[in-house]
Amino acid sequence: MNLCKPPIVALFLLALCFAPLAHSQQPQPAPDRVNLDIDVGQTSDKFGGLARTTSVEAGIEGKVVILEHASKGDPNIVAGGEILAPGDTSSHAPELALFGGPEFYFSSHITAGIHVQLRKLYTPSREEPNNLFFSRYKMTLLELPVVLNFKFGPRNRVFLQAQGSPEFSPHYTNPSQTPAFPHPNLDHGYALRGSFGYNFGRWYAKATYQTRYFRFISNSNNPLGLYNWRTDQILGGVGLNF
């Protein structure tokens, strides 16, 4: 099984190895202990050869520093979660995620980390291409996104955030009506996210674009390629940090 295209995997592994080794020896400022934001926007999904569909979507995301660095150069240990809820669940997947991991301080402008993340995808259970009833498996993903944060501008109030990870073979859960075929086999996939925002002090505004892609092996477990999935989300919102 190919996890993803070779250049993406190479970049991921390079960042995975480099991040814990390259942290700065500069004194680290105390971080905000809690970040909580609410976002609204649009999700766009395409399964196989079916027409692309769009829907409004709302999300909530939170992150907590559960262990601050004990000495110079130590990482902060963070944990958090995310909920994404589309307005139309017949064609779009609600998502629930929990994550945690270290975040290293490079300078007053740059931090980087590696999160261990569990994400549940409640993929649409029914499609009717050519009057064929189709019921998808739900998927639980283990992801290892590399997370980069950049701050700049007056008092470092402007920020950029980036995440990227290859996708690994999911854990499958039978839908309410068991399909007449085994679960599909992942060929490759990836998840990417970028955010841009401004911190006003105790609150911030940000815009986020994220995309996720799965390509499954073409066989009888993936009829008409209907498991192949590309989702794109554009969200904007406000949050609190304290």
List the beta strands (DSSP E) in 169-228. 171-173, 186-199, 203-216
Give yes or no for residue 2 having a pLDDT over 60: no
> By C-alpha distance, which of 195, 205, 194, 208 is closest to 241?
205
The more confident residue out of 68 and 139 is: 139
Give yes or no for residue 3 having a pLDDT over 60: no
Residue 210 neighbours by CB under 8 Å, 6+ apart: 191, 192, 193, 194, 232, 233, 235
Q: What is the pTM of this model?
A: 0.85
Amino acid 128: pLDDT: 59
The more confident residue out of 13 and 98 is: 98
Fold of 6-24+35-241: Lipocalin (2.40.128)
Give yes or no for residue 25 having a pLDDT over 50: no
> Locate tokens 């999911």: which residue?
170
- Are the CB atoms for 102 and 68 separated by under 8 Å? no
**What percent of the chain clears pLDDT 90, i.e. is strictly above it?**
65
Amino acid 11: pLDDT: 46
Amino acid 20: pLDDT: 47
In 10 A of CB 62, how many CB atoms?
A: 16
Strands 138-143 and 146-152: unpaired
> By C-alpha distance, which of 127, 135, 72, 62 is closest to 99?
62
Mean pLDDT of 167-179: 81
Give yes or no for residue 220 having a pLDDT over 70: yes
Give yes or no for residue 233 having a pLDDT over 90: yes
Where do the domains of the chain lie? 6-24+35-241
At 198-211, the pLDDT tens digits run 999 999 999 999 99
Mean pLDDT of 191-199: 98
Please work out, in degrees rounded to the nearest 5, the angle formed at the alpha carbon of residue 46 by the alpha carbons of 41 and 50: 135
Mean pLDDT of 155-169: 96
